[in-house]
Structure 1
Amino acid sequence: MASRIVTKKSGNKPVALVIGASRGIGRQVALDLALNGYIVVVAAKTSSDASKTTPFPPDPNSNHSTINTVEREIKEAGGEASAIRVDTTNPSSIDALVNRTIEKFSRLDAVIYNSGAIWWASVEETPLKRFQLMQRVNVEGLYATVQAVLPHLKRQPSGGRIIVVSPPIYSRFFRGKTAYAMSKVAMSVLVKGLAMDFQRQGLDGKLAITSIWPAVAIESAATGRFTQKDPSMANDLRKATIFSDCILAMLAAPAKTVNGQLELDEDFLRTHANVTDFSKYSVVPGTSPRRIMPAELPDLTVKEQDDEGQRVDSAKL
């Protein structure tokens, strides 16, 4: 498993773009990528004057944590970072983010898409505006990001990686949050589909797209709303470091191993990083947080998986 200390690398450092990195899980991912040799572009919508933030660092799950405070945290820890504001509902803003990243660092090696909008309720109790926001941030934001970064990732001699925070596909996930599930599962479909594109193009040894999802609920701004009402719920939470450790392990794995995979953090670390003791990730020491994901997930392939018939490519018609 990746270390949690600064790793010195020879030559040009790899550049990671973390979208949705102002607080919570995204902040932890940005910090740990920087501590492991990456130059990190910290991107999200929330910005501030980090020099005036007191006390520092702020609560990582509060609104006082912004892309600028995360940038400051990374630099004070000895890493390299640049904060760039982005609105993931606006494709032009995403294009500008990627262009500024390339202008500043002349390369892009890894993209982590952590930006997300959440609304858990029945279809009847989910207003159309909430549904549309989730589609724009979760699905369209990811799609626009992929379109913007692919040309740059393809240019990297060592290849490039995209990691998406989206779930495995299974029916129980739809229950009680259909609109949200529609947006998140669509992200996972993009992971599967783009991975197939890489395979067809003979790029799956160089490029990879992978999804990551928590097996156990993780401490974040979202879960903080529940623990404020019932502090005992913290017993069922893990620290965000499990996510960043898993992402580091994914980035270190061969592209063909992870391309198109919909992974759970715990299971990937157990299988690919030989982690057997997860106690250090418990928010409350000595507890065994409840797993929220199924132990086994459905296989999405069919017997006729390789039979495409006469495939049509609209882009070439």
Structure 2
Amino acid sequence: MTTPKTVLITGTSSGIGLATAIAAARAGWTTVATMRDLSKAENLLEAAAEHGVTDRIQVKRLDVVDPASIASCLDEVIAEHGRLDALVNNAGAGQFGTVELTSLDDFRNAMEVNYFGVVAATRAALPHLRAAQGRVITVTSVGGVVGQPFNEAYCAAKFAVEGFMESLAPVAATVGVDVTVIEPGAVASDFIANVGLDVPALLAAAGPYAPALEAYIARTRDIFTNAQTPAEAVTAIIDALTGDHPPFRVQTSDWARDFAATTLADLDGSAVQTLTNTWVR
């Protein structure tokens, strides 16, 4: 019998991460679903039971800002399963506000979780992915290609992730590892709630920025009324996980493609990858 492929997914307690773990298990993968706080695993375990994939999902603790946690988790995966075929970098945290009203610590924290966490997990996983001729799939955002008002810290981190992965992709390809970034638009998930916005307090503290902030919040609420579900967004992730040589850049909806196209003419990343691959071969 062929040994099932193994995927490790970060940030699976809710939203896209949870839906990805269920979908990967349903696709037949041994799925290591990780999260920083294991007390939040209940929803994932209930969904696994509902879909009949409990035997293919293993929940482990992994904190992307703690290199020791990453190393320990990967050691366990290799000891228990003997291989790692894919890493899905999904863990992330929102950061809302404009620079004059946001502390430098808030900016650093956003970079730590959304960027350095991705770098750390990818760096630790690559030796195992090389051995398996596997792939790295990273959930970024359309906010990684189009900067958005009152999201300076978050978008800066996502732009950094996009630059890191676009630069890594041709190098990783020389050792048999595919790299893909997934760019969701608005997704109806707990991510928005997890940002913990107190809108009246934000407006009261916004000073001269209050009119712009009020307009932005109204526009954003309208967009999220018609947002994708996590399950719909996950289709692109599973295609990248299971397909042959997926493109570098994938948007998760027509809206996301149209939005990204305001900056990107090379929507799937093939033109950039064709160019930079010639630099390393």
Relative to the length of structure 2, the TM-score reads 0.78
1:210 is matched with: 180
Answer yes or no: is 1:73 the counterpart of 2:47: yes
The CA deviation string for residues 178-221 of structure 1, in whole angstroms up to 9 with x for no partner, is 2211111111111101102124x3x3xx3111111113x11111
Contact 1:168 1:263 in 2 (8 A): no
Q: How big is the shift at 1:82? A: 1.1
Match of 1:191 among 143, 165, 170: 165
Distance 1:126 1:108, change over 3 A: same
1:262 is matched with: 249
Contact 1:167 1:262 in 2 (8 A): no
Which structure shows the higher helix fraction?
2
Answer yes or no: is 1:153 the counterpart of 2:129: yes
Distance in 1 between the 2:30 and 2:49 partners? Answer: 10
Letter of the 2:92 counterpart: G
Distance in 1 between the 2:239 and 2:151 partners? Answer: 30
Answer yes or no: is 1:293 the counterpart of 2:259: yes
Q: How big is the shift at 1:115? A: 0.7
66-75 or 293-302, which deviates more: 293-302
1:103 is matched with: 79
Distance 1:139 1:306, change over 3 A: closer
The CA deviation string for residues 124-163 of structure 1, in whole angstroms up to 9 with x for no partner, is 122122111111111111111111111101111xx21111
The CA deviation string for residues 225-253 of structure 1, in whole angstroms up to 9 with x for no partner, is 79999997653122111222111111233
2:37 is matched with: 46
Unaligned runs of 5+ in 2: 200-217
Runs of 4+ in 1 over 6 A off after TM superposition: 225-233, 289-292, 306-309
1:95-244 maps to which residues of 2 (within 5 A)?
Answer: 95-156=71-132, 159-167=133-141, 172-199=146-173, 201=174, 203=175, 206-215=176-185, 217-224=186-193, 235-244=225-234
Distance 1:170 1:144, change over 3 A: closer
Distance in 1 between the 2:82 and 2:29 partners? Answer: 14
Name the % identity. Answer: 24
Contact 2:10 2:88 in 1 (8 A): yes
1:86 is matched with: 62
242-251 or 26-35, which deviates more: 242-251
Distance in 1 between the 2:222 and 2:149 partners? Answer: 25
Answer yes or no: is 1:248 the counterpart of 2:238: yes
Contact 1:67 1:84 in 2 (8 A): no
How large is the Cα RMSD of the aligned pairs? Answer: 3.2
Unaligned runs of 5+ in 1: 1-9, 49-65, 268-288, 312-317
Contact 1:139 1:184 in 2 (8 A): yes
